[in-house]
Amino acid sequence: MKFFLDTANLAQIREANELGILDGVTTNPTLMSKEGVKGEAGVMNHYRTICEMVHGDVSAEVFSTDFDEIIKEGKKLAAIHPNIVVKVPIVKDGVKAMKWFTDHGIRTNCTLVFSAGQAILCAKAGAAYVSPFIGRIDDSGWDGVQLVEQIVRIYKVQGFKTQVLAASIRNPNHIIRCAEAGADVCTCPLEPLLGLLKHPLTDIGLAKFAADAKKTE
Ligand code: E4P
């Protein structure tokens, strides 16, 4: 399973990158606005900087929901860097646009996916990635990882090539369960990613080793 960082924060991207296990980045308009990125030129520059920092795919989201506008925005984003993947919402014109992008050699990440039916449409349109939103499903009282399991099963049975990118991750357990479910990629903020490191027995073991190491000095 690949690890993508779900952020537009350059310091966090640098920190995850330094671990050597970062495979890409996903962003969305909310994450970009959190970093104070403004204007078309500002947005383009920010994406270019991220692409230069990370060796892997960087998802850049369109904000239009109309076919012509999605194509216009997506073309501009795709022209920034070869690693840009155009993130498109699962709406009717979005499906049409993803098929257009696929036919024109531009890779897409289908976003705001909350059902298996939506995931089937993404695959039919030739999306490179489908992004089911685990945390937001959990927040509404359902089990987001079950959707990942279902999409992975359907894609396997049908031989769809679209990669399952588990998104909206809230905690380390989400990452572990998505890995178990067979997600191709997990995109998450830095905190749950670093949370995978934590175990109290590791801390206790380290303290004991440090104390015993002193006895050998
Ligand atoms: C994924 O690509 C989305 O940008 C993101 O995971 C949404 O996460 P949130 O539900 O924490 O906003």
What is the rounded CA–CA span in Å between residue 42 and residue 27? 15
**Residues annotated catalytic, as ranges:** 87
Instruction: Catalogue the E-assigned strands of the chain.
Output: 2-6, 24-26, 57-61, 84-89, 108-113, 129-132, 163-166, 185-188
CB 192 within 8 A of CB 174: yes
Q: Is 7 in the pocket of ligand 1 (CB under 6 A)?
A: no
Q: List residues bridging with 165 in a β-sheet.
A: 185
Q: Find out whether 82 and 112 touch, Cβ atoms under 8 Å.
A: no
**Nearest CA among 121, 154, 150 for reference residue 134:** 150
Q: Is this prediction's pTM over 0.85? A: yes
**Residues 8-58: tens digit of each pLDDT:** 999 999 999 999 999 999 999 999 999 999 999 999 999 999 999 999 999
The DSSP call for residue 81 is -
Q: Rounded to the nearest whole angstrom, what is the distance from the C-alpha of residue 120 to the centroid of ligand 1?
A: 20
Report whether residue 136 contacts ligand 1, using a CB cutoff of 6 Å.
yes
CA distance 55 to 25: 10
Predicted local distance difference test score (pLDDT) of residue 176: 98
Instruction: Please tell me the distance between residue 26's alpha carbon and the centre of ligand 1 in angstroms.
Output: 8
Nearest CA to ligand 1 atom 8: 168
In order along its 217 residues, the chain shows pLDDT tens digits of 999 999 999 999 999 999 999 999 999 999 999 999 999 999 999 999 999 999 999 999 999 999 999 999 999 999 999 999 999 999 999 999 999 999 999 999 999 999 999 999 999 999 999 999 999 999 999 999 999 999 999 999 999 999 999 999 999 999 999 999 999 999 999 999 999 999 999 999 999 999 999 999 9
Which residue minimizes the CA distance to atom 6 of ligand 1? 168
The answer to whether the CB of 124 falls within 8 A of the CB of 103 is: no
Q: How far is the CA of 30 from the centre of ligand 1 (A)?
A: 9
